Every structure is written in C-alpha cells, then in structure tokens.
Amino acid sequence: MSPDQIGFMTLLKKEVMRFWAVLGQTVTAPVITTLLYLLVFAQAMKDRASAYEGISYTEFLVPGLVMMAVIQNAFANTSSSLIQSKVMGNIVFLQMAPLGPLEWFGAYVLAALVRVALVAIAMLVVTLPFVPLPVEAPLVLLAVFLLAGAGLAVVGMIAGIIAEKFDHLAAFTNFFVMPLSFLSGVFYSVHALPPLWYHASHLNPFFYMIDAFRYGFFGHADVPIWQSLIWCAGFFLLSSAVCLWMLITGYKLQK
C-alpha cells in the first residue's frame, strides 16, 4: 500500500473504532428504538388496510423503518464525529496530517456505511422471525442502501463542518433530518395523503429513498423505481459536491 492508501485506511479504521467503542449507543440503541416503533405502530395499525395488495401493514412498515434508521444513523455518525473532534480540538491531528480531501471524504462516508449496515442487518435479523420479507430486487436494495447511506453520511459531514457547537448540530437534526424522515412515508403510503401533502412528499428526497428501498423488497412502490434512483443518486452527488468543495477550500476548517 502507498503511504496515501495507508493514511486513508487508518482514518477509516479510526472512524470505525470510534463508533465501535460505543456500540451500545451507535448500533444497539437505534435498533431498539426502531423496533419499538415497529411494536407500537404494528399493534396500533394492524387492522389498517395495507398500501400494497398481499402485503400486511407490518411488512410494509419494516423496510421504511430500516431505511429511516439508515438515514438517521448515517447522518449522526459523520456529524457527531466531526463536531466532537472540533469541540475537543483533536481535529488538528487530521488537519496537520498528509491526508487530502478525498481521503477525508471516503473514510468518513465508508465508516458511516459500516455502521448503518450493522444497524440495518441487525434490524432485519431481529424482525425476520416475526415479519419475513421477500427480496424482489436485491440490486436495487443494495444500490438504494449505498446511495441513501452515503448521501446522508455526506450531509452529516457538511453539518459537522458548519456546526461550531453541539447546539448547531442539534438544530440540523431536529429541523432537517427528523422532520424529513418522519414525513417521508415510513408509516404510510403517500397515496393516502391529501393532495397538498402528497405533492409536498415528492419534494422530500427521503421519500424516494424509502420508496425505492421498499421496491427492493416487494418489487413495487409508490413512484417508478427509476425516478427514485435518480433522486437518490442526485442527492448523493449534489451533497458530495458541496462537501468536497468545503474540504478542498478548508471552509470552516482552516482559519
């Protein structure tokens, strides 16, 4: 391996070790939280007609919950790592190291993908005995997982770079990630919404991530799969462009 590759692999390993050191917070807690959603909503809404024919409401719910956990945890992983490093001051170790913008970008995003893969796999394994799911389009499932996880990891990096204290990051989470993820059709099909909210949902990128993820399991969804994939890819590319610009110019990182 070249020195640059060793540097990249070290940063990736360090970021994985960071969340691994607090696995209870970073993997177990989100799995339990999401399972509680499943328990409560599945019980409360079990008599409700499902959005898709032949699929129970509980089955409909699981993919959305998994993707919501992916979205929230991918964002949390990169944003919390960066803000902690900034507040503690140890970000100087990275800033003084011979690591370029692409190494920063790649290592933070890949580490977040490792974490959300663990969260998603744990959730699917735990729910499998109660809610067996078909997998109709595995490649779509994988593509959407990677695009959504990476996209939100990148947005987390942007938030971590912009934020100067934990309050700023909490604002990103409370006013951006949480509302968009709850209003993305996790708990319902958008066809059940009034026209205004139906159209508003189509401006929410998280809606396409969840809808496409459901397509991967059931083979059908609320909007055509190509449309969702374009939204997911577009979201990832746009956020990546912004993040890389920040890293290259040293925005908020270099004084």
Partner 1 sequence: MSTAIAIAGVRKTYGRTIALHGIDLAIHQGEFFGLLGPNGAGKSTLINIIAGLVRMDAGSVSVMGYDTVRQFREARRRLGVVPQELVFDPFFTVRDMLRIQAGYYGCGREVWPWIDEMLERLDLAGKATSSMRALSGGMKRRVLIAQALVHRPPVVILDEPTAGVDVELRRTLWAFMTELHRQGTTVVLTTHYLEEAQELCGRIAILDHGALQVVETTAQLLARHPFRFLRLKLADGARLPEALQELVAAEVNGAIELKLETRRHSIASVFAALRDAGIAIEDVQTREPDLEDIFIDLTRDDRASQRSVA
Binding site for partner 1 (CB under 8 A): 1-4, 6-7, 9-11, 13-14, 17-18, 21-22, 85, 88-90, 92-100, 250, 254-255
Q: Which is nearer to partner 1, 11 or 116 (CB)?
A: 11
Least distance to partner 1 from the beta carbon of 249, Å? 9
- In order, the DSSP letters of 97-130 are SS--HHHHHHHHHHHHHHHHHHHHHHHHHHHTTT
Q: Which is nearer to partner 1, 45 or 162 (CB)?
A: 162
For the chain, strand residue ranges (E) read none
Q: Which is nearer to partner 1, 92 or 192 (CB)?
A: 92
Least distance to partner 1 from the beta carbon of 13, Å? 7
Q: What are phi and psi of 130, to 5 degrees?
A: -100, -35
**Any residues with CB less than 8 A from the CB of 184 and at least 6 apart, and which?**
64, 68, 201, 204, 206, 207, 209, 210
How far is C-alpha 96 from the chain's CA centre?
29
Least distance to partner 1 from the beta carbon of 217, Å? 36
**Any residues with CB less than 8 A from the CB of 33 and at least 6 apart, and which?**
69
Least distance to partner 1 from the beta carbon of 203, Å? 37
Q: Which is nearer to partner 1, 95 or 174 (CB)?
A: 95
